[in-house]
Amino acid sequence: MTGWSPQELSRIGDAEELEITPLHADGSHRRPTPIWVVRIGDDLYVRAHRGRRGVWFSATQEQHQGHISSGGVNRDVAFVDESDAARNDEIDAAYRSKYGRYGPRYVEPMVAAAARAATLKLVPQ
């Protein structure tokens, strides 16, 4: 299967969190980390609120591959840097909409410059 199925997109996009498991350099799996995930159309995105220095984000940069689990969906994925400013504006809006109930203390770091610079598109493998 290539691409996300409509069911996978709905289940992951509606889930509160996603567990991300980047690969070590030797191909073994790291420890899963729960993070927020947003959906824009047929794409799924994650961000590191601590920016590119965040532990789990740094780990994604070794192999650019790993595994995700969310909403009952388990998939191997590629981690693709998202640097398009217009797309990042949409992602900001999606974070504010989905997670705004947690208040600015939690949401604002997810739409700050550091997090925008650590935005990854999840591409199913």
Predicted local confidence at residue 2, as pLDDT: 65
What is the block-wise mean pLDDT of the chain (125 residues), using blocks of 10 residues?
Answer: 89 98 92 97 97 95 96 97 96 98 96 97 97
29-to-21, 33, 70, 105 alpha-carbon distances in Å: 6, 11, 17, 31
pLDDT recorded at residue 1: 47
- Tell me, what's the pLDDT at 4? 97
